[in-house]
Amino acid sequence: MHPATTEKPNVSPFPVPWAVKLVDRLHALYGAQFLRQWEGIDKRALALAWAEDLAGYTGEEIARGLAACKAKPFPPTLPEFLLLCRPTLNAEAAYHEAVAGMVARNSGERGQWSHPGIYWAAVRVTSHDLLSMGWQAIRGRWEAALRDVMSKGRWELVPEPVKALPAPGQSHLSRDQQRQAMEQVRSVAASTNPQRAASGRDPLAWARAVIAHPKGRTPTVLDMARRAVGVEASA
């Protein structure tokens, strides 16, 4: 008779058959290394232990963890595997991603989101506040929202924007929101070229850096940079 597992409150239990398959998959990935790490522990008992701590984790998260294992030369411990399934996000980096993403969405674009949780945290904080408040002012609210959203373990996909694209030369953002958004983009660009930004000799260094390295930038961010240095945005 197997020992009973303690289910976490308000969390879906992780199916034991899934845990058995997971242990078998890790064994297949790491071979003898995996057996040595868990030497003396019955694989069924190991699966039951993993099932208990994986309660609330989704199939997508488990797949993410297994994919990450392919880059690890040694089999992960259970805490390490949990982190591979739900990687910790850097709050400030996620905030800058959210700012750029919301600027894009206000122009009718989807935005670039490395994790759907960042989008839903942005929705909770609201686009208006993200684009009108600086990092230090909104840091506490953002960190709390991101932490709460990421703790859910299950996220809806980022929806497509519903707003129409603005007419040429126009923007959905107010001047104040554009100014705030440009400040955020400038801070991100400056972090990629701190020596030049710190010199103070080129106040538009952030815009020049964006234009010089456009890969991964949204059309909205590129347009903002071009306008900042007096270059006509491409049609």
Which of 85, 113, 135 marks a domain boundary? Answer: 85
Residues 95 and 70 in one domain: no
Quick one: pLDDT at residue 206?
63
Mean pLDDT value of segment 103-130? 90
C-beta atoms surrounding 116 within 10 Å: 15
On whether residue 9 sits in a domain, the answer given is no
Residues 191 and 213 in one domain: yes
Residues 101 and 142 in one domain: yes
Which of 64, 85, 106 marks a domain boundary? Answer: 85
The distance of Cα 47 from the centroid of its chain, to the nearest Å, equals 29
Which of 85, 100, 119 marks a domain boundary? Answer: 85
CA distance 136 to 97: 16
CA distance 98 to 131: 9
Residues 135 and 223 in one domain: yes
CA distance 7 to 19: 15
Give residue-wise pLDDT tens across range 128-178.
999 888 899 999 999 999 988 887 767 788 998 875 444 445 455 555 655
Greatest C-alpha distance within the chain = 75
Residue from 231, 184, 186 nearest 206 by CA: 186
Do 22 and 50 form a contact (C-beta atoms < 8 A)? yes
Residues 80 and 96 in one domain: no
Query: pTM score > 0.85 for this model?
Result: no
CA distance 50 to 48: 5
The more confidently predicted of residues 8 and 150 is 150
Quick one: pLDDT at residue 147?
85
Q: How far lies 90's CA from each of 71, 142, 191, in Å?
A: 21, 11, 15
Residues 32 and 111 in one domain: no
On whether residue 134 sits in a domain, the answer given is yes
CA distance 49 to 53: 7
Mean pLDDT value of segment 209-224? 70
The distance of Cα 23 from the centroid of its chain, to the nearest Å, equals 27
The more confidently predicted of residues 198 and 25 is 25
**What's the alpha-carbon Rg for the chain, to the nearest Å?**
23
Query: Containing domain of residue 64, as a range?
Result: 16-85
Cα-Cα-Cα-Cα dihedral sign, residues 47, 50, 51, 52? positive
In the chain, DSSP assigns E strands to none
- State how many domains the chain has: 2
What average pLDDT does the structure give for the chain?
A: 77
C-beta atoms surrounding 84 within 10 Å: 19
Mean pLDDT value of segment 24-43? 90
Q: Residue 224 has which token pair?
A: 């903002």
C-beta atoms surrounding 197 within 10 Å: 19
Query: 40: which DSSP letter?
Result: T
The more confidently predicted of residues 152 and 95 is 95
On whether residue 5 sits in a domain, the answer given is no
The pLDDT-based confidence of 18 (bands split at 50, 70, 90) is very high
Give residue-wise pLDDT tens across range 67-87.
889 989 999 999 899 888 887
